[in-house]
Amino acid sequence: MNNLKNALIYEFDASADFNTSPLNTGVILDDDINDYFVEIEADESTLSSNFISMLPNSDATSNPMRRYEMDGEGTSASALIDDTYSFVLAGYHRQNGKGVARIHITGSGSASERSFDVFSNDGISTNERVRKATFYWKDVVSKLQSLLFGAETSNTEGTIIRIYKIPKLSSLNGVELVDGGLYYFDGSNQTHIFTGLNGDVDEEYVLRCFSEFSAGDTEYIVRLQGDSVSNRIKQRLSNNGGSLLPANSTVQYDASLKDGSVRIYAKSGKKRLSVQSSSSQFATQQDEFGIWNPDTITNVTSIEVSTTQGQGLVALFKRRKGYSIDPVPMRRVLSYSVNSGFANGITIDDIEGDKIPGAIKIEWNGVLSGVAGLLCRLIGDGSSIYPSAFIRAISGSVSANSSTVSQLFICQDGATVNHGVIYIYPKSGQNRPTINKSISEENRIELRAQSFGDTISLIDSITLFASNNDSIEGEIIVSVPKQTQQSQPWTLTVN
């Protein structure tokens, strides 16, 4: 089953006043067939801030949405739950800074409340803020057909909106269903084992779980090789009923989730890391998880999924060779495997940043042995012009901070296997916003928003390096949106 092509179905790029003239996409969506991904680039505003709202089907009923949110701004880490909200808070125009938002729309009216998962770099005035939110549309009958974009205040501002359709089963680009990769839990079947796998060949799996609305709060437990020994380390950053809940514990599974997906790095030779984002309108909860499996030797040939209640569909995918797993169809530009000191790093040249319709994606999976971080600089600029804000869970504590630093962060710490991904929006004319998620050291989850203060220079090179010369081992993958057209290939130089 390899027909998992995504498509850009809508694009708006203009200056407009969404307050006095809301933008309606028209009837272009059908969530019985597809999931959707919305990408917003919001130019800086002459106002201190001006949020962008989004309404499914121009829904005019009273408070049609639920809002679950975690924020990091300044030294404030916060969470909220609001079951009577008016719209999807999609993004912000802010003073002295461009904002970006990535919004993943999943579900269908016949099965559950639609989920709008928002990961954004936004803020008020000149502050940098990172925001992770899930909005639920309470209408469980109507088909999602259109989106209406509005604004808090009347002001003409530049905005780019891209909408991609995604096949509903995968809700991702760059994956293919494994043989025998579908199973339906009907309420009587408690366990299913996906067999015939080869983790050393496939390297990455994605398990997608669907919880049926009528079945209540279905929870799926996932175990590699069916191993139920309590030997995994689990780090979480959660919004539990409006309170931030960080925790580090030992568990008997590789993932525990309701609606949503888990990404499993299955190749042997290092601890297997499972990375998960999920939420539930039943449990009023958002979760960011990292779980480390200590078995570095056994090839993953099976994955067990079980549930003690409810019903729903689960689907197992593997990464397609040469692709990046992402809601946006991404074309892999290059990959680089490293097993050495990396203080000098690598430089990627011949980038034409203004020709990229969206973000450059840089992904890391590996071990940073004794290294304080895997870092990135644009056009070699190491001056302090990278404003930064994060929300972070380390073991049982949560914190937030804002500062101006001299580089972008991809992943911090990590004497054990870790994962980081950063999206860099390189278009010139304003600051270059980025958003980043990293999971490391068996005790850290971090969401970060940064930007690059040079508004003029063309982004034609990126330097990746470690913060000291200790050895690192892993793979760096660089991708761009599939529709990117550039005049020459990128080049890589080992410094």
pLDDT single digits (tens) 82-109: 999 999 999 888 887 889 999 999 987 6
Handedness of CA 461, 173, 319, 285 (dihedral sign): positive
In this structure, the answer to whether residues 360 and 433 fall within a common structural domain is yes
In this structure, the answer to whether residues 337 and 483 fall within a common structural domain is yes
Query: Given a cut of 50, is residue 148 above it in pLDDT?
Result: yes
Rounded distance between C-alpha atoms, residue 396 and residue 65, angstroms:
31
For residue 214, the model assigns a pLDDT of: 54
Query: Given a cut of 90, is residue 111 above it in pLDDT?
Result: no
Query: Given a cut of 80, is residue 3 above it in pLDDT?
Result: no
Query: Given a cut of 50, is residue 4 above it in pLDDT?
Result: no
Rounded distance between C-alpha atoms, residue 247 and residue 367, angstroms:
22
In this structure, the answer to whether residues 353 and 423 fall within a common structural domain is yes
215 phi and psi, to 5 degrees? -95, -5
272 phi and psi, to 5 degrees? -85, 125
Instruction: Specify if 325 maps to a domain.
Output: no
For residue 472, the model assigns a pLDDT of: 83
CATH number for the domain that contains residue 188: 2.60.120
Mean pLDDT, to the nearest integer, of 166-170? 88
For residue 310, the model assigns a pLDDT of: 72
Rounded distance between C-alpha atoms, residue 371 and residue 414, angstroms:
7
* CB neighbourhood size of 382 (10 A): 12
What is the number of residues in the chain? 495
Of residues 203 and 371, more confidence is placed in: 203
In this structure, the answer to whether residues 30 and 161 fall within a common structural domain is yes
Query: Given a cut of 50, is residue 56 above it in pLDDT?
Result: yes
Query: Given a cut of 80, is residue 280 above it in pLDDT?
Result: no
Two tokens at 460?
């034609």
In this structure, the answer to whether residues 345 and 392 fall within a common structural domain is yes
Instruction: Specify if 324 maps to a domain.
Output: no
Q: Which among 458, 461, 453 has a CA at the least distance from the CA of 384?
A: 453
Of residues 79 and 215, more confidence is placed in: 79
Query: Given a cut of 90, is residue 348 above it in pLDDT?
Result: yes
DSSP assignment of 82-144 equals EEEESSEEEEEEEBTB-EEEEEEEE--TTTS-EEEEEEEEE-STT--EEEEEEEEE--SSSPP
Rounded distance between C-alpha atoms, residue 39 and residue 427, angstroms:
14
In this structure, the answer to whether residues 22 and 81 fall within a common structural domain is yes
In this structure, the answer to whether residues 161 and 66 fall within a common structural domain is yes
Mean pLDDT, to the nearest integer, of 109-127? 79
Rounded distance between C-alpha atoms, residue 52 and residue 3, angstroms:
34
Among 41-50, 105-114, 377-386, whose mean pLDDT is lowest?
A: 105-114
DSSP assignment of 243-303 equals EEEEEEEEES-SEEESSEEEEEE--TTS-EEEEEEEEETTTTEEEEEEEEE---SS----E
Q: Which among 94, 105, 100 has a CA at the least distance from the CA of 137?
A: 105
In this structure, the answer to whether residues 144 and 257 fall within a common structural domain is no
Query: Given a cut of 80, is residue 215 above it in pLDDT?
Result: no
Mean pLDDT, to the nearest integer, of 261-277? 92
In this structure, the answer to whether residues 59 and 38 fall within a common structural domain is yes
Instruction: Specify if 151 maps to a domain.
Output: yes
In this structure, the answer to whether residues 101 and 249 fall within a common structural domain is no
For residue 143, the model assigns a pLDDT of: 92
The per-type count for the chain, helices as H runs and strands as E runs, is 1, 37
Instruction: Specify if 186 maps to a domain.
Output: yes
Name the average pLDDT for the chain.
Answer: 90
The residue range of the domain holding 153 is 7-167
Instruction: Specify if 414 maps to a domain.
Output: yes
pLDDT single digits (tens) 464-478: 998 876 678 889 999
In this structure, the answer to whether residues 370 and 392 fall within a common structural domain is yes
Instruction: Specify if 483 maps to a domain.
Output: yes
Give strand pairing partners of 286. Answer: 239, 279
Among 49-63, 210-224, 410-424, 459-473, whose mean pLDDT is lowest?
A: 210-224
- Please say which residue of 269, 299, 319 terminates a domain: 319
Instruction: Specify if 2 maps to a domain.
Output: no
pLDDT single digits (tens) 371-386: 668 899 999 999 999 9
* CB neighbourhood size of 140 (10 A): 16
Quote the radius of gyration of the chain (alpha carbons, Å): 21
* CB neighbourhood size of 75 (10 A): 10
Instruction: Specify if 138 maps to a domain.
Output: yes
Query: Given a cut of 90, is residue 112 above it in pLDDT?
Result: no
Work out how many domains the chain is built from and give that number: 3
For residue 442, the model assigns a pLDDT of: 85
- Please say which residue of 167, 194, 210 terminates a domain: 167
163 in Cβ contact with 10 (< 8 Å): yes
pLDDT single digits (tens) 234-253: 999 999 999 999 999 999 99
> What pTM value is reported for the model?
0.95
Q: Which among 90, 113, 114 has a CA at the least distance from the CA of 102?
A: 90
Q: Rounded to the nearest 5 degrees, what angle is found at the Cα of 72, between the Cα atoms of 70 and 73?
A: 135
pLDDT-derived band at 414, boundaries 50, 70, 90: low
Query: Given a cut of 50, is residue 1 above it in pLDDT?
Result: no
For residue 318, the model assigns a pLDDT of: 97
* CB neighbourhood size of 489 (10 A): 9
- Please say which residue of 167, 192, 221 terminates a domain: 167
141 phi and psi, to 5 degrees? -115, -50
pLDDT single digits (tens) 434-449: 999 999 878 999 999 9
Query: Given a cut of 60, is residue 213 above it in pLDDT?
Result: no
- The percentage of residues in the chain with a pLDDT greater than 90, rounded to a whole number, is 71
